[in-house]
Chains A and B, each alone.
Chain A
């Protein structure tokens, strides 16, 4: 067996292991990637499925508990609103009328039970609208320090 063939066999083994590990990683971490409208339209089929939903928080819908460990809000779609209930540490700048990404699963009632809520980290290139979204005043943000 020539050196090149040996090297080729080794490369095939590495590629095979990589593909298998990719398969394992995909099956354990995949999520549907949806907009609010897609989620609302397909809700019965998506119950209990892992998903990541992007949307804007409806003004007047955000409610954060005093311990800042739980928040409920609605995400706006063009044809309706998706109720969301999130538990766990919340982002500092979580606010109404702001684009967020919620990772979680739909429950039987069609609410999204968020395991993680992510706000856009206002980064370079951010447009004005995205960077200076008004936050909930500290006094009403529930348990904010002073």
Chain B
């Protein structure tokens, strides 16, 4: 099986590499036969990658220790689902998963039944295949998942106990899917620029030479924007979901009471998400106002480049991370790819700068595009700060000759004011218009929303919240809800003032995508509320308790009942049974525990959490203190649940936003966009004429 896997890996490398060449050049030379062989080769290559995944998965499930990879990351004691998840635990396996997902996504991209077939589809597909070829090459030459185990034993090293958590079953594949999906907008923009497409109505000169020369001066067609937007949203949602899952795992499994440590690896995934958020907004501004064209092109490339930067961070070994990533040369390969993208992208933008000129300039500071631009600046500032903090060690060494790193205070200090600016821009968004200042009614609604929110602000103040940041976030969160409701009321009123429910339904149906976007904003607001509450209001208390002892803390009565010991397959479990009540009437029980994993001879902390909308009560069992006494840490994390809710709201909003709208698309069908190259039929006619005349 191992040999079959190796052959399939080689076949995949050859298949996708040829496909990249054939699709790019076939589109450029307008050679249908070459394109056909390229597509067939791509399907074959991705099928071969699927077989490699199947072989490695099978080996992990049957614990075939003749595979070095299986011996390193699996064991006979491991439950089957965790053994299967080892597929993406190691370097070689995760690269394989990434390449496979990219291959599948590329096929979906190429064979999706588009309503408006576009000539940029094939070259973009070719670029995706080239990237897939790069990932496959790293496996073939640097990280072989099919590597033989020289001395196979009866048992493997097993999976780290910390990774045996449900969130870890899906967190890595989701992040890799996000990384893979970010390559699609990048491929589209490169293909669009290379194919020199122009907007409808802009006729290039007839002369072939001058036509080719002046094509770069014609406005670039926005077809790629329409195609790229849903892909960017998919990538953004998936990567965001992956990041939140990672934070959830850290919160539940690492037992330190937090969820984000500003570790280089965590930052590595956050940066493309922030850049991607800005990119999605630049696409909207291009589509609705014809502005920010160069920024859109640049951000498509940067968002994808930052995915490679994240891999470079984890693989190069230049940073000391809390994550134990082994060093290997592939990190530098990813840095090289990033440099090629950066330099190539800059050259492309400079070369096509005349075709990327904005159609119009900003007319009002109270228009939606002005607020979008501010939010884009805020997002890019956040990304820049995160990059600067992550690279502080390398930057300080280059500037002052000493390696200096910055701590969480740096990120918190800088990102909080920018985050407030971001919240302010998205709060007002529902009551703004593209290309013009708000109408009189919208202005009134903006003021009424502010008034209503101020009442709530007073209530929050009265409830004892005094921190200026907490008050600001509470006000902006309430304002964003009020503005959304006001926008719905206004539009409902305009549609059907007699029957408001019907008007509301029509508003939601006809503006489904717009309101789905606002729901995504609400998800972000929920996350901001959760982050603010848990950062500002978190309390900790460490204590030693004896069985039967009761303590009062954070408005709760906590009674340590007893210590429970259990033997489970592969591990020994010790749990502290805690009875907790807030009002003395409705007690609930928490079981913080310590697990001794027999195979690794390693203890892990298993926290117990009682979660409500007000706060999380987080308990950690540390160790024994003789005679059944235990040392515990109690943590109160206010509003944590809002953070996880925000993630779900964002995913739900993105799902509604992405749901296809067949009827509207058919109505909006437009004539195909002109392409500089003459169509096949015209070429054929010209060739026939030339042949006849000769």
Q: Which chain A residues have a beta carbon within 8 Å of chain B's beta carbons?
A: 3-4, 6-7, 10-11, 14-15, 17-18, 21-22, 24-26, 28-34, 52, 54, 66-69, 89, 92-93, 99, 101, 118, 120-132, 134-135, 137-138, 141-146
Contacts and interface: CB of A to CB of B under 8 A. Distances in A.
21 contacts: A4-B361, A4-B362, A18-B418, A21-B417, A25-B409, A25-B411, A26-B410, A31-B405, A32-B404, A52-B320, A93-B603, A99-B324, A101-B322, A123-B324, A124-B90, A124-B323, A128-B72, A131-B324, A145-B563, A145-B623, A146-B624
B625 A67 contact: yes
B421 interface: yes
Contacts of B365: 3, 6-7
A131 B157 contact: yes
Interface size class of B (residues with CB under 8 A): 35 or more
A52 B261 CA distance: 15
B364 interface: yes
Q: Which among B388, B402, B408, B621 has the greatest number of chain A C-beta atoms within 10 A?
A: B402
Contacts of B88: 124
B324 A21 contact: no
A132 B89 CA distance: 14
Top 8 closest A-B pairs, CB basis?
A25-B413, A120-B324, A29-B407, A127-B326, A25-B410, A122-B160, A29-B409, A123-B323
A68 B622 contact: yes
B471 interface: no
Contacts of B162: 121-123
Contacts, number: 190
B604 A33 contact: no
Contacts of B94: 124-125
Among the interface residues B88, B322, B362, B413, which one has the most CB atoms of the partner chain A within 10 A?
B413
Chain B interface helix/strand/loop/mixed: mixed
A46 to B, nearest CB: 10
Nearest to B85: A124
B104 interface: no
Contacts of A126: 89, 160, 323-326
Nearest to A15: B381
Contact of A121 (B254, B320, B363, B574): B254
A44 to B, nearest CB: 15
B162 to A, nearest CB: 6
A101 to B, nearest CB: 6
B370 interface: yes
Which of A14, A33, A66: most chain B CB closer than 10 A?
A: A33
B377 interface: yes
Given A31-B405, A131-B160, A138-B603, A123 B325 contact: yes
